[in-house]
Amino acid sequence: MLSDSKNDIIKRVLNNDHRAISKVITEIESGDETFNSLHSKLFPYTKDSIRIGITGPPGAGKSTLTDKLVDKYLKMKKSVGVIAVDPSSPFTGGALLGDRVRMNNYIWNENVFIRSMGSQGNLGGLNRKSQEAGDVLAASGKDIVIYETVGVGQGEHEISNAADIILVVLVPESGDDVQLMKAGLVEIADIFVVNKSDRDGSDRLAQSIKNVLHIFKNKDRQDPPVFRTTASLGLGIDGLFNGIETFVGESKSNGHFENKRTVRYRNRVYNLVQEKLTKKFWTQIKLKKLDGMINDLNNNQSSPYDVVNQILKKTNE
């Protein structure tokens, strides 16, 4: 539980107190429901931040790219929050929290807050807690909130529930795999980035992406632009940054931003209701009944649907 009074911690977060921000995010990670009441007070201050999602396969250079974008925003006198979501182990729940080490240039900069979080097994790389941490950063006055996460195929669609603009980062070694991209990946990307473009095959990859985009062309929007960067050398960053700014400006003017945020809000409410009902339903008594019903799988001839109906019937009695 938070030891500080609720009003005090809210005031400190709104004043960009990084220790308070860190403490609140720790409470989010621990699942402390104290945050629920805090969120109600912080949420009205979360709407001005632009949220950027950066996703792609391991080794694509997402952290380096994020670092360069942070630097660009700082030069524009804007503040930035970064949620670096690392893949959690499906066995231990532990995460490889390397981004905090890789992006430690800003550790003493009050205009930058970087936090690594585990995905906790979520295939999309993001979970509810990551989005709530983003809300805290937005409430603290961060102009830009960046979610950096490892993409794992179509599960990457989860990031679209958290961000206003999605950057999908690929590298030349992805050239053969890009042909296998499904429509879901194409649909979430607002911008494609071919990073490490100083390597052989970058031209071919960029063209392959454009070919795939043509196949899955969406008449309701323009094809996502494809930018080539070599983030480690700072090459192509200006062009990408300008592309992001252009997308943001156009999305605000044509209503795309507002529509996307409305859908995101609806999805969050839906998921929270689902989570709360599931948690409330599975009491220890029901879990014991379930274990008893399926204890001997070899002799259990009941369909899973039959078991569900029996559990629900007993619940309603």
pTM: 0.86
Contact yes or no for 132/26 (Cβ under 8 A): no
Q: Where are the beta strands (DSSP E) in 132-216?
A: 144-150, 165-170, 191-194
Render pLDDT for 302-312 as a digit per residue (tens, 0 to 9): 788 888 888 88
* Residue 262, both tokens: 């409305």
DSSP category for residue 217: -
Strand partners, 81: 113, 145
% of the chain with per-residue pLDDT over 70: 79
Render pLDDT for 159-194 as a digit per residue (tens, 0 to 9): 777 899 999 999 987 655 555 465 566 778 899 999
Render pLDDT for 123-135 as a digit per residue (tens, 0 to 9): 444 567 888 999 9
